[in-house]
Amino acid sequence: MNTFLVDFAFCPCGEMTAIQPTKPATPDTNPQPYESVEGSIVVACTRCKRVYRFDTGYLQSRSTATGIGPHNPEAPMGVFEVPIACGWEGCSAQLVVHVMLGSSITAAELEEEKATWIFPELRCPEGHPFPWPLYRD
């Protein structure tokens, strides 16, 4: 049976969100994040729906039986990078939100998921608070 090492972010509610495959360890190092992602990322929790910043220095490597898409095309769950526009008039800034969802999610289902997200204290790169929800009718 294959196992895959995956880096996870942890929401304040305790839910884990897969972010990326873990870079394999070499004989003289411990497993490291797959990409040279430094600083912080923005993550959406599928349990509590909170969108939060997570310091990539605290990503934790865990083994999974299936890995994650798109890195493993056969994985039932995938990590999606969803751009979210600020929404303030005249501001073109975006955040890229990492979320773990079923690999076969449709565009319509992704829009429904985004409509449930909450943004406590999160600001766009220009400093504006998100006027959320932007996607509800």
- pLDDT at residue 109 in the model: 95
- pLDDT at residue 125 in the model: 82
Q: What is the pLDDT of residues 84-125, one digit of tens each?
A: 888 788 888 888 999 999 999 999 999 999 989 988 878 888
- d(CA 111, CA 81) in angstroms, rounded, equals 13
Question: Does pLDDT of 126 surpass 90?
Answer: no
Domain spans, the chain: 4-27+35-114
Q: What is the pLDDT of residues 16-32, one digit of tens each?
A: 999 999 976 555 555 55
Task: Please give the single-letter amino acid code of residue 106.
Answer: T
Residues near 131 by beta carbon (within 8 Å), at least 6 away in sequence: 87, 88
Q: What is the pLDDT of residues 35-61, one digit of tens each?
A: 445 689 999 999 999 999 999 999 999
In which order are the strands placed within the sheet that holds 60-64?
Answer: 32-33, 16-23, 4-10, 60-64
